[in-house]
Amino acid sequence: MGSSIIKRAISGDPEALTSLINQYRDIAYNLALSIAKDDEDAKDITQDSFLKVLENIHRFRNEAKFTTWLYRIVYNQSIRFVKERNTENIVKTESISIPENPYSEYSVKKEYIELYKAINLLEDNDRNIILLFYLGEKSIKQIGTITGMSASNIKVMLHRARKKLYKKLNYERV
Partner 1 sequence: MKEFDENIKNALLKHIPKIDDDSFTENIVKEHLSRKLEIKYKPFLNFASLIIGLSFVFISIGLILLIRYNGLFIEIIDINEQHGLILFALSFVFLIYKWLEDYSTSSTL
Residue 18 is a binding residue for partner 1 (CB under 8 A)? yes
Residue 62 is a binding residue for partner 1 (CB under 8 A)? no
Between 54 and 86, CB nearer to partner 1: 54
Q: CB under 8 Å to 78, separation ≥6 — which residues?
A: 31, 32, 34, 35, 36, 42, 45
Instruction: Please pick, from the candidates 3, 26, 141, 152, the single residue that binds partner 1 as defined by CB under 8 A.
Output: 26
Assign 159 to helix, strand or coil.
helix
What type of residue sits at position 140? I
Between 86 and 110, CB nearer to partner 1: 110
Instruction: Please pick, from the candidates 4, 14, 84, 102, the single residue that binds partner 1 as defined by CB under 8 A.
Output: 14
Residue 30 is a binding residue for partner 1 (CB under 8 A)? yes
Instruction: Please pick, from the candidates 3, 56, 89, 150, the single residue that binds partner 1 as defined by CB under 8 A.
Output: 56
Other Cβ atoms closer than 10 A to 66? 23
The rounded distance, in Å, linking the Cα atoms of 171 and 157 is: 19
Q: Which of 49, 95, 40, 44 is closest to 76 using CA atoms?
A: 49
Q: Is the dihedral of CA 131, 73, 92, 87 positive or negative?
A: positive
Q: Residue 163 Cβ, how far from partner 1 at the closest point, in Å?
A: 11
Residue 55 is a binding residue for partner 1 (CB under 8 A)? yes
Q: Residue 106 Cβ, how far from partner 1 at the closest point, in Å?
A: 4
Q: CB under 8 Å to 66, separation ≥6 — which residues?
A: 6, 20, 53, 57, 60
Instruction: Please pick, from the candidates 85, 98, 148, 150, the single residue that binds partner 1 as defined by CB under 8 A.
Output: 98
Between 86 and 103, CB nearer to partner 1: 103
